[in-house]
Amino acid sequence: MHLRLPRPYDFELSTERFRTFGPDLAYLWRAGGLHRVLCGREVRIEAADGGVRIDPPDRALAGAVRRLLGEPFDLAGFEAMARQDPVLRRIVERLRGFRPPLAPDPLEHLVSSITAQQVSLRAALAIRNRLLRRFSAARGHAYPFPSRDVFAALQPEDLRALGFSRAKAQSVVAIARSDLDLEGLAALPDAAVVERLRALPGVGLWTAEWFLARHLGRADVWPAGDLGLRKAVSAFFLEGRDASEAGTRALGERFAPYRSLAAQYLLTAMRVLER
DNA sequence: TACCAGGTAAAAA
DNA sequence: TTTTTACATGGT
């Protein structure tokens, strides 16, 4: 089944972050295609002319795949904005076809973010893969993320055994057991989402901002506390001088109201472009 | 061997 | 109120 996406679309470039930090059991790259469990079924996604091809062919799956591939982002509007900035314009030209993916599941995104707090993304991925092997089972090749019920029934000790810190293990279990309606957050404005998420243990501004940008697909989020983004701002805009969180946040204002795409283009540019 | 890596919360100043 | 510290793992 063929899925058309707004042109230009570069599937391999857009899914680079599922491969760069090592094999990811939840987004498994295999023989030129991405395997992912959506709606309880494994789907294989591969590049095709003007978009992607998915197998099995299914209407409901197709909608989920479109969202996974970041279809909601307004790339045309972003590109028009980016043309006004000489540095960003050059990056957008060289990353032609990049459309950042969206995380399908709120709890999965939160837990994954928590694993990635402070440690390298390779370390975080190793921990998350151990979590999947221990508390999930492959459907085909890819592993579905465990449900909220599974986490709610765990003891923090179970997660500590996988490499979570004591605080992270307690946070994940407490979040799963909390009464917050994670799906319901999609109906709230950005500030209200941040407020609710930050009330959860182990969730700070960084985690909440990436949730907005990478799970909800909100257009104008700029996670200035992110070390990778600060390094990108330093490299592309400050000739290598250190970028503070405050300085990074101030610099990002020029990319409104498309800061989410700007941030993700900069992060990807740091990894795949030479400078 | 240390030290750093896409933070957060709690303790100390 | 602002600054410092502990935390866990993987790579170099």
pLDDT tens-digit profile, chain A (275 residues): 999 999 999 999 999 999 999 999 999 999 999 999 999 999 999 999 989 999 999 999 999 999 999 999 999 999 999 999 999 999 999 999 999 999 999 999 999 999 999 999 999 999 999 999 999 999 999 999 999 999 999 999 999 999 999 999 999 999 999 999 999 999 999 999 999 999 999 999 999 999 999 999 999 999 999 999 999 999 999 999 999 999 999 999 999 999 999 999 999 999 999 77
Q: Is the CB of A206 under 7 A from strand B?
A: yes
C-alpha span between A37 and A53 (Å, rounded): 16
Q: Is the CB of A160 under 7 A from strand B?
A: no
What is the pLDDT, as a whole number, of residue A46?
98
What is the pLDDT, as a whole number, of residue A269?
98
C-alpha span between A20 and A130 (Å, rounded): 18
Which run of H or of E encompasses A153? Answer: none
What is the pLDDT, as a whole number, of residue A270?
97
Q: Which residue is nearest to the C1' sugar atom of C9, using CA?
A: A123
Q: What are the backbone angles phi and psi of residue A12, rounded to the nearest 5°?
A: -65, -45
Nucleotide with the nearest C1' to A118 CA: B7
Q: Which residue is nearest to the C1' sugar atom of C8, using CA?
A: A165
**Which are the contacts of A140, defined by CB distance < 8 A and separation ≥ 6?**
A35, A42
CA of A244 to C1' of B3 (A): 21
Q: Which residue is nearest to the C1' sugar atom of B9, using CA?
A: A202
C-alpha span between A165 and A167 (Å, rounded): 5
pTM for the whole structure: 0.98
What is the pLDDT, as a whole number, of residue A1?
97
What is the pLDDT, as a whole number, of residue A274?
78
C-alpha span between A14 and A1 (Å, rounded): 20
The answer to whether the CB of A238 falls within 8 A of the CB of A56 is no
Residue A7 is classified by DSSP as S
Strand B bases within 7 angstroms of protein beta carbons: 4-10
Identify the burial level of A272 via C-beta atoms within 10 angstroms of its C-beta, where 0-12 means exposed, 13-18 middle and 19 or more buried: middle
Q: In what order do the strands lie in the sheet with A51-55?
A: A2-4, A51-55, A41-48, A33-38, A28-30
Nearest Cα to Cα of residue A214 among A124, A137, A100, A119 = A100
Strand C bases within 7 angstroms of protein beta carbons: 7-11
CA of A13 to C1' of C3 (A): 41
Nucleotide with the nearest C1' to A120 CA: B5
